Amino acid sequence: MPAPINPFKAALKEGRFQLGLWLALGSPYAAEIACGSGYDWLLIDGEHGPSDMPLMSAQIGAVAKSGSHPIVRPPMGDAWLIKQLLDQGAQTFLIPMVETVEQARALVRAVRYPPHGIRGVGAGLGRASNFGRVSDYLASANDEVCLLLQIESRAALDNLDEIAALEGVDGLFIGPSDLAADMGFLGKPGSAPVRDAIEAAFERIHSHGKARGIMTVDMDEAREYRALGADFMAIGTDVTSLVRALDGLRREFLGEAPAGGKTAGY
């Protein structure tokens, strides 16, 4: 029996757009609720959300049993942390703040078993191999890992072509908020120079045959990014959705006008 098929990776290979949602509450219960909303993937956020390894593991377990695919964003791209998440059943990773091809090459090795990488052989103790019940896990696990790297600085844009050309990188994700900040537009990811940089990055990523990803909580921006060719995209977070729903419920009862303004992407 081989490792479980990664449906998200398969969809990207087939050119099927994948719609997602951010999980930043750090709650397995909230993750289970989100599973019922029909998103193709749910991002378990360990970078900004309050999730440690046990909480991320519990959320992976909750999402993996649903029709949505769990993507994990660790707080950083350290091999030891990625190793633990792999053994807990994570197959798709979104790694933040990747700026060089050397970083990207190290991450490719971190998610693969020797001789192609440095992943430790211990998945029999974890969910990844159904606790040792998947007999051919070691021979097939590498093929089902999907590695997505975040491009969110000017330095990363400078090195984008080298990173995108690297074998083992499945997709590149533009982080609009951090990119905007690095370009001198803090809190303004919708600024024209930032949007132009994103459009140019999408074209370069596509030229290397890799998937293009992005996130926003603004519907107009989401439709623009999709029109620009986004292959996978998150259109909200559990946090912002909860805030909007709770604030909206109170305003509706009191007859208050909806709050204005836009929330930046992540």
Neighbours of 256 (CB within 10 A): 11
- The pLDDT tens digits for 102-139 are 999 999 999 999 999 999 998 888 999 999 999 999 99
Nearest to 157 by CA among 98, 206, 216, 214: 98
The residue that leads in pLDDT, 1 or 8, is 8
Mean pLDDT to the nearest integer, 225-242? 97
Active site residues: 48
Rg value, the chain, Cα:
18
Name the DSSP letter for residue 9.
Answer: H
Nearest to 23 by CA among 43, 52, 53, 39: 43
Tell me which CATH code domain 7-254 carries: 3.20.20.60
Question: Using CA atoms, how far apart are residues 133 and 124, in angstroms rounded to an integer?
Answer: 8
Mean pLDDT to the nearest integer, 179-202? 96
- The pLDDT tens digits for 79-100 are 999 999 999 999 999 999 999 9
Residue found by looking up tokens 């007859």 in the block: 255
Q: Is the pLDDT assigned to residue 197 strictly greater than 90?
A: yes
- Looking at residue 260, its pLDDT comes to 62
- Retrieve residue 240's tokens: 């912002």
Q: Is the pLDDT assigned to residue 195 strictly greater than 80?
A: yes
Neighbours of 42 (CB within 10 A): 26
Nearest to 52 by CA among 92, 79, 88: 88
Name the DSSP letter for residue 143.
Answer: G
Nearest to 226 by CA among 237, 241, 236, 216: 216
CA torsion 31-35-37-42 (nearest 10°) is 70
* 78 Cβ neighbours under 8 A, 6+ residues apart: none
- The pLDDT tens digits for 136-181 are 999 999 999 999 999 999 999 999 999 999 999 999 999 999 999 9
Q: Reduce the DSSP state of residue 230 to 3 states and report it.
A: coil
- What percent of the chain is modeled with pLDDT above 90? 92
Size of the chain, expressed as the number of residues it contains: 266
For residues 162 and 251, the answer to whether their CB atoms sit within 8 Å is no
- The pLDDT tens digits for 40-54 are 999 999 999 999 999
Q: Is the pLDDT assigned to residue 266 strictly greater than 80?
A: no
pTM: 0.94
Work out the angle at residue 266's Cα, subtended by the Cα atoms of residues 51 and 170, and round it to the nearest 5 degrees: 85
- The pLDDT tens digits for 58-71 are 999 999 989 999 99
Mean pLDDT of the chain: 95
Q: Is the pLDDT assigned to residue 254 strictly greater than 80?
A: yes
- Retrieve residue 81's tokens: 């942390």
Q: Is the pLDDT assigned to residue 35 strictly greater than 80?
A: yes
Cβ-based burial of 191 (10 A; exposed 0-12, middle 13-18, buried ≥19): middle
- Retrieve residue 15's tokens: 């050119």
- Looking at residue 67, its pLDDT comes to 93
